[in-house]
Amino acid sequence: MQNRVSKRTLFGFIGPAVFGLAIVGIAPLLYAVWTSLHFFNLTKLRQVEFIGLANYWEVLTDEVFWQAMGRTFFLLGTALPLQIGLGLGIALLLHQPGLTLVKTLCRLSLVLPMATTYAVVGLLGQVMFNQKFGVVNQLMGGADINWIGDPQNAFIMIVFWDVWQWTPFVALVLLAGLTMVPGEVEEAARLETKSWWVILRYVQLPFLLPGLTAVLILRTADTLKLFDMVFTLTRGGPGAATEFISLMIQRVGFRAFDQGLASAQAVILLIITIVLAQIYIRLFYKEV
């Protein structure tokens, strides 16, 4: 079959995509790698010089970098299970038979949080979680909770917004997985048992695994590069309570202007993301 298609045709179809990817993805990556091997400060361009792996060594031995990384994974470990749990619950509810119109409206409304720009979410958060005027404290009976100025509360606030914005995504992916379950198999299972857990575990879950793997990979990558919402909401503060890894890279690269060091941090982050994606695929991904 392959022999019947000429290489020119293949290149004609695939070439533009590869070319586009190379321009917008590979070239900047190669430039970042080149930059990471140099002393490259935007305000000291006369002093640009090749310094080998010195930037990488500085990153790997920088306590602040690993604290930011730890904080980021703590956010991932807190928010992702909540998103999967809530998303699965919503997906199972929407998978129930009947109430077609309501379910359609629910599915449509699930898109809204995802469609909200990250920066707007952050600005909304500033207003809603304001200690004195915010609606959140008002809804809590006029509570006087300092959300933005307290390290723990600020972290909780970030988790809340991340869960609010991305649970619908998880729900929609899992709902798509549930629709893949053959109707006759599910019906047969329901005749065998009344336990929803047994049906979920042995009938539905195998069909959900590819979607779950995608969710894990995408949400991990998204969390590792979470920036806009946190920047507009807390700017990494108070202290370093919400300084996640992408905020730290932005701070080093665009506020201290050390592009070399920031590029080394970004390359290390990329490597961690790729390794995690491979682990997820090996551990969770199974074709039904």
Question: What residue ranges bind other proteins (CB under 8 A)?
Answer: 42-45, 64, 131-132, 146, 148-151, 154, 234-240, 243, 251, 254-258
Nearest-approach distance from CB 45 to other proteins, in angstroms: 7
Reported in sequence order, the residue ranges of the chain that DSSP labels E, i.e. its strands, are 38-39, 49-50
Nearest-approach distance from CB 119 to other proteins, in angstroms: 13
Q: Of 162 and 243, which CB lies nearer to other proteins in the complex structure?
A: 243
Nearest-approach distance from CB 117 to other proteins, in angstroms: 17
∠ CA(177), CA(180), CA(181), 5° rounding?
105
Contact partners, residue 255, CB within 8 Å, separation at least 6: none
Contact partners, residue 42, CB within 8 Å, separation at least 6: 257, 259
Q: What's the one-letter identity of residue 164? A: W
Q: Of 183 and 239, which CB lies nearer to other proteins in the complex structure?
A: 239
Q: Of 80 and 148, which CB lies nearer to other proteins in the complex structure?
A: 148
Provide the β-strand partners of residue 39: 49
Nearest-approach distance from CB 138 to other proteins, in angstroms: 16
Q: Of 158 and 171, which CB lies nearer to other proteins in the complex structure?
A: 158
Q: If you ran DSSP here, which 8-state letter would residue 255 be given?
A: I
Which residue bears the tokens 């993805």? Answer: 25
Q: Of 68 and 181, which CB lies nearer to other proteins in the complex structure?
A: 68
Longest Cα–Cα distance in the chain = 76
Q: Of 27 and 114, which CB lies nearer to other proteins in the complex structure?
A: 27
Nearest-approach distance from CB 31 to other proteins, in angstroms: 14
Which residue bears the tokens 């053959």? Answer: 182
Nearest-approach distance from CB 30 to other proteins, in angstroms: 20
Nearest-approach distance from CB 165 to other proteins, in angstroms: 22
- Per the CB < 8 A criterion, the answer to whether 263 and 155 are in contact is no
Cis omega (within 30 of 0) for bond into 210? no
* CA–CA dist 60, 277 (Å, integer): 21
* CA–CA dist 260, 191 (Å, integer): 63
| Token representation of residue 248 | 């730290």
* CA–CA dist 76, 259 (Å, integer): 26
Nearest-approach distance from CB 42 to other proteins, in angstroms: 5
Q: Of 62 and 222, which CB lies nearer to other proteins in the complex structure?
A: 62
Q: Is 239 left (phi over 0), alpha (psi -120 to 50) or beta?
A: left
Q: Of 170 and 226, which CB lies nearer to other proteins in the complex structure?
A: 226
